[in-house]
């Protein structure tokens, strides 16, 4: 163990050999592929925002300009139920314990 931690004098041959090995090994090792590179290659330069249209007067659904009146709820004939909140998510949202912070 004593040999392992013994310091070599600066400028010794061992220093230059290690530097050469690091340089040659770094060029031989292929660059690690980032899995998110593919995700970020097709990001558009511009965005397209659709024109606003009035919400449905029956169910208050947001509509596209090309959608006809009553497309979402048949002019109030179909009532869309609001789903009950998931208890675990409600606890995280409303409590002050360590999990919800």
Domain range for 89 = 50-95
d(Cα 93, Cα 85) in Å, to the nearest integer? 11
Q: What is the pLDDT of residue 36?
A: 80
Residue 39 covered by a domain: no
Summarised one tens digit per residue, pLDDT across range 14-37 is 545 555 555 555 566 767 888 787
Count of structural domains within the chain: 1
Residue 6 covered by a domain: no
Q: What is the pLDDT of residue 30?
A: 67
Residue 59, token pair as written in the block = 């169910």
Q: What is the pLDDT of residue 99?
A: 79
Q: What is the pLDDT of residue 77?
A: 93
What DSSP string describes the chain? -TTTTPPPPTT-HHHHHHHHHHHHHHHHSPPPPPTTTTGGGG--SS---PPP-PPPTTT-----TTSPTTTTTTTTTSPPPPPPPPHHHHHHHH--SGGG-
Q: What is the pLDDT of residue 28?
A: 66
Summarised one tens digit per residue, pLDDT across range 50-93 is 788 889 998 888 888 888 888 889 999 998 788 899 999 988 88
Residue 91 covered by a domain: yes
Q: CA geometry: angle at 83 spanning 81 and 89, to 5°? A: 165
Residue 68 covered by a domain: yes
Residue 61 covered by a domain: yes
């Amino acid at each position: 163990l004593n040999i392992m931690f013994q310091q070599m004098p600066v400028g010794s041959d061992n220093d230059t050999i290690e530097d050469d090995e690091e340089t040659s090994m770094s060029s031989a090792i292929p660059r690690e592929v980032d899995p998110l590179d593919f995700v970020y290659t097709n990001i558009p330069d511009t965005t397209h925002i659709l024109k606003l249209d009035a919400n449905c007067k029956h169910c208050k659904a947001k509509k596209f300009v090309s959608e006809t009146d009553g497309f979402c709820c048949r002019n109030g004939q179909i009532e869309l139920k609001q789903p009950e909140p998931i208890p675990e998510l409600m606890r995280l949202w409303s409590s002050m314990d360590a999990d919800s912070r």
